[in-house]
Amino acid sequence: MMRSVGVLVAWLVVATPLLRAEIQTKVIEYEYDGTKLKGFVAWDDAIQGKRPGVLLVHEWWGLNEHARDRAKMVAKLGYVAFACDMYGNGEVTEHPKKASEMASTVRSNLKLWLGRARAGLDQLKNFELTDRTRLGAIGFCFGGSTVLQLAYSGADLDVVVTFHAALPVPNETQAKAIKATLLICHGAEDGFIPEKTIQEFRAALDKAKVKYEFKSYPGAVHSFTVPGIEKVGVKGLAYNEKVDKESFQAMSELFKKAFRQADK
């Protein structure tokens, strides 16, 4: 009996930290060029030591619940996830017109666009649990085009993944500057991205011999990763649970491969 009690106590000593382990989150305030920004970091405290870091860039709605939830999902994979703020003060909206205005303001100024993205990447790098030698970036819609711009600027990223992203076509210099492996998760029925743009985008990557995979998911339209997106009332936006899960799994598998290679 005493031996059984001793074994139980020993097990509790070992297991208690694991039982208490959960995804931890924190808001991090930082700034770029005088604008105050509010990012969101997530990590799994069951993991000891440093681990790969993933920058996450929100849709044109701002750093909302969808972006925070995705950061926590990435953290559950064993990474540090930092969702950056591209608008300032954590501003968000549910109104398409306002979202378009906020995104357009950023996109119209490449220095500002890249500057805020790089500021977010710096916050990820400087987080105490991030392994700076293994870094990735993911983005949704506006955020997808943002992480592509980061890749075009030659950022030290091992992998970049986009979901229902706008696809800015890189010029020859930008394409040659890409260091990351790219995964483009695209809805085959996405009416917001012209077929001509897709062809030009892929041709530019092919010419520069960029490592990439373009996954076009049948039946998926824009915003296929966003549950409840239909409520905003914009034609052509719809959640697709099957494609959401498949694209997230594709991202997860690429992360494992890319970070394992970066560690060698």
- Indicate whether 64 belongs to any domain: yes
What is the reported pLDDT for 263? 62
* HEC per residue, the chain: CHHHHHHHHHHHHHHHHHHHCCEEEEEEEEEECCEEEEEEEEEECCCCCCEEEEEEECCCCECCHHHHHHHHHHHHCCCEEEEECCCCCCCECCCHHHHHHHHHHHHCCHHHHHHHHHHHHHHHHHCCCEEEEEEEEEEECHHHHHHHHHHHCCCCCCEEEEECCCCCCCCHHHHHHCCCEEEEEEECCCCCCCHHHHHHHHHHHHHCCCCEEEEEECCCCECCCCCCHHHHCCCCECCCHHHHHHHHHHHHHHHHHHHHHHCC
Confidence of residue 15 (pLDDT cuts 50, 70, 90): very low
81-119 residue pLDDT tens? 999 999 999 999 999 999 999 999 999 999 999 999 999
Residue closest to 74 by CA, chosen among 127, 7, 139: 139
Q: In this structure, what CATH number is given to the domain that contains residue 158?
A: 3.40.50.1820
Per-residue pLDDT at 14 exceeds 90: no
Instruction: For residue 219, tell me if it sits in a domain.
Output: yes
- Band the pLDDT of 264: cuts 50, 70, 90: low
Q: What is the pTM of this model?
A: 0.91
Q: Could you tell me if residue 84 is inside a domain?
A: yes
- Domain coverage including residue 84: 23-262
Residue 5 has pLDDT above 70, yes or no: no
Q: Per the domain annotation, does 201 fall within a domain?
A: yes
* Domain tally, the chain: 1
Which has the higher per-residue pLDDT, 169 or 21? 169
Whole-angstrom Cα distance, residue 168 to residue 117? 16
pLDDT classification of 262: cutoffs 50, 70, 90: low
- Arithmetic mean of pLDDT, 7-29: 63
Asked if residue 80 lies in contact with residue 56, where contact means CB atoms within 8 angstroms, the answer is: no
Mean pLDDT of 231-240: 96
**Is 12 a domain residue?**
no
- 248 is a domain residue: yes
Q: In the structure, what pLDDT confidence band is assigned to residue 11 with cuts at 50, 70 and 90?
A: very low
Is the residue at 43 inside a domain? Answer: yes
CA distance linking residue 209 with residue 167, whole number of Å: 17
Answer whether residue 76 is part of any domain: yes
Cα 196 to chain centroid, rounded: 26
**Average pLDDT of the chain?**
93
pLDDT at 260: 87
Instruction: Kindly state the average pLDDT of the residues 210-231.
Output: 98
